[in-house]
Structures are given as C-alpha cells and as structure tokens.
Amino acid sequence: MKIGFIGLGIMGKPMAKNLLKAKYELCVYDIVPAAVEELGAAGAQTCKSVAEVAGQCPVIITMLPNSPHVKNVVLEKGGILENGKPGTLVVDMSSIAPAASKEMEAALAKKGMHMLDAPVSGGEPKAIDGTLAIMVGGTQEDFEKAVPLFKVMGGSYTLVGPIGSGNTCKLANQVIVALNIAALSEGLMLAKKAGTDPRKVFEAIKGGLAGSTVMNAKAPMMLAGNYKPGFRIDLHIKDLNNAIETGDTFGAALPLTKEIQEVLKQLSAEHEGGSDHSAIAKYYEKLCHQSLKED
C-alpha cells in the first residue's frame, strides 16, 4: 500500500524517513524541491504536486505549518478532496486549530473520505528517533488503520476523542510546555543571580517534583547557550495563538498563556523567532543583565 507524505520540513522529513526505513512505499511532495529530492535519494517516489500524491495513495499524511496550509492542501483546487478517492484516509499530523480539523473532516466525509487529526510532540530529536507523542482525534476504526504508521513514528499514540480532539490536546500540551520553559528559565536565573551554580541546581532538582521532560531537554541547552531550533519560537507563537483563540471560543481563561505569548512575541521581534523555544531564557537574561551560559 502506498503512503502519501506531504510536508518535509524539520519534523516531516525525519518522520518520512522512518517510514521508509520501516519498508513502507512512500510517495512524497513538498514545495521545497531539495527536500523532495533528499527523500527520493532515500528511496521514496517523488511527486510534483498534491494531486499526484492524492491520486495514488489510499493513506495520506500531512505535516504542514498551520491551518491555512493544511486547508489549502486538503480543500483547494488541485488538493486531496478533488483528487483523492472515496475511502482515502487523511492523517493530518500538523499542529493546527481544532475548528479547521473539523471543517476539513466534514468536507472529506461528503466524498466518502476519512480524516484523523494527529499532531505530535517531541520536536526534531524525537521525530528523528521515532519516539514522538502522537495525540489523535477521529474514529476508533480510522485510528486502528493508522496505528501501524504511528508505531513507526511515535513512542506513544493515544486516541483522545472525536475529530479535533488531537489538536485540542496539542494546544494544551503547548501551553504547558511554554509555561514550563518560562518557569525553568526563571528558576535557573534566580539561582545564577544568587550566586548558586545553575548546573548544580538542575542536577539537584531534576529527580524531584519540579523535574520534567521539558527540564531535561531544555536546561542543558540554556546552560550551553545553544538555541539551535528543535521547535522554533515562531511556531510556538502560532500554537499559542490557536490556543488563545480556542480558549476564547469556549470560555477557557488562559491568563498565563497570554503572558508568555507576549514574551515570545517580543523575542520574535528581536530576531529570535527562528531560535528554539528554550530561548525564552534570553528574555530573563536581558531582564537580569546576566547570562545563564556556563563559563
């Protein structure tokens, strides 16, 4: 069975490569020719359009930046809806607004096509390792069809609820991650300003109640001054915009989310939008006139 894969960016490329390593027959497309060529060299069938992918693949994975990009690929002329066949399963692994997932699923259903929203968490390192956390919205039947693919790309995969639930779960994840990074930055800066070694603080608390996957991943980056993107600040801004919009729609108060969003926007305005979201630490460094980087 041919699997289509549309979107070969920081996350999509290693995810697609893992599917190839698992011996899946992959048809790939991206607007960046070099990314398509790289996957072709790895053994994928390269395609020149979304239509070419949709016309031959009963399962299509999309991994794109935001709601408008996915809606364009799925709904617009030359897209999956127009060129896919009844029974096609679209597995959107992008992080987008839940309302957009529901809109696309409704349109696809009219043509006898199916959809899962299945955003991921873990950033580039876990995409490379095939250990992403996958949060899924859709039917049990469609979920079970996609499980073999999820096993290749993820360390965990959970059916959260009906369509849109996967992206709602991802928004909650992104709120929690952003606030964790901010709390970590704030705590390490407190230690540094008080004359206590932040590295020792990290080692002392990581096994306690404050410890987390976020801390283990981001504290070493902050202490090394290494902000090479695993997940860019500008993408986190996009996710929190979707979270705030969803919160406003359903009456969920998100005061802390709105505060950290302003921090992220300020960093983006200072040309840090392409940095890893652990660069929230730079906001505290500027406030405190102190670097967290180890000497």
Indicate which residues carry an active-site annotation.
170
Q: Are strands 45-46 and 25-29 parallel, antiparallel or unpaired?
A: parallel
Q: What's the rounded Cα separation, in Å, for the pair 170 and 135?
A: 7
* Tokens found for residue 56: 């031959």
Considering Cα of 28, then 131, then 222, then 188, what sign does the dihedral take?
positive
For the chain, the first-to-last Cα distance in angstroms comes to 54
What is the SS3 assignment for 59-74? EEEECCCCHHHHHHHH
Angstrom CA distances, 67 to 29, 205, 240, stand at: 18, 38, 13
Q: What's the rounded Cα separation, in Å, for the pair 1 and 188?
A: 50
Q: What's the rounded Cα separation, in Å, for the pair 19 and 17?
A: 5
Side-chain half-sphere CA neighbours of 99 within 13 A? 10
